[in-house]
Chain A
Amino acid sequence: AQSVSQHNHHVILSEAASLELGCNYSYGGTVNLFWYVQYPGQHLQLLLKYFSGDPLVKGIKGFEAEFIKSKFSFNLRKPSVQWSDTAEYFCAVTNDYKLSFGAGTTVTVRA
């Protein structure tokens, strides 16, 4: 069974700092990759997704992610975070129509 690993459990940043969240997956076949965000008290919202093509994917709210196939990684980045980026972030990988999630990273942005 495939697994998804997120390297950081909790990240604390100041506004305007850069953010990078790590994600690695174990499955070696063709995968589709996602990053979701969950703001406090809300449901999951899609930030970005990768299916094929350009490995650098741009999503909403200034987020981007890079797929590195050789490293089985799909790291999320944002050059300058805002207080409103405080949320929990989930990396997810799909194969055979089922989505597997990492444990999540809580990001706290301090004003």
Chain B
Amino acid sequence: DAGITQSPRHKVTETGTPVTLRCHQTENHRYMYWYRQDPGHGLRLIHYSYGVKDTDKGEVSDGYSVSRSKTEDFLLTLESATSSQTSVYFCAISEPETGVYGYTFGSGTRLTVV
């Protein structure tokens, strides 16, 4: 979707290596989210941010960390990748305060841990 981009789109990495995924928005939305999508589980929230340097855990946060040093960027880091983290990762943005209460999703990053 316009205004939100994820990079890389695809990545293959080895078990035990660190990996960082990037989400960049041009909408100046306050809230940003990282989800993972796995068959039979829908999308599950990993971490989210409600402002610069303000982050909190979601339901599946173990093994992941995030950082938000600028409004437009939200980074997801796998400190030491495991095969169970093979998934499709989606970033989303939201801005409830202005009344535009909806979520826009990025195109996703397909991560394979071998």
Q: What's the least CB distance linking B100 to chain A, in Å?
A: 11
**Chain A CB within 8 A of B107 CB:** yes
**Chain A CB within 8 A of B94 CB:** yes
Contact of B90 among A34, A43, A92, A103 (CB under 8 A): A43
Interface size on B, residues (CB 8 A): 25
Find chain B residues with CB under 8 A from A90 CB. 42-43
One of B16-24, B44-52, B76-84 at the interface: B44-52
State the main secondary structure of chain A at its contact with B.
Answer: strand
**Chain B CB within 8 A of A72 CB:** no
- Given A97-B96, A103-B41, residue A34 in contact with residue B105 (CB < 8 A): no
- Do B106 and A43 have beta carbons less than 8 Å apart? yes
Q: List 30 A-B contacts (CB under 8 A).
A: A1-B59, A4-B42, A6-B42, A34-B102, A34-B103, A36-B105, A42-B107, A43-B1, A43-B90, A43-B107, A43-B108, A46-B103, A51-B101, A90-B42, A92-B43, A94-B103, A97-B50, A98-B45, A98-B58, A99-B33, A99-B45, A99-B92, A99-B94, A100-B45, A101-B42, A101-B43, A101-B44, A103-B41, A103-B42, A104-B42
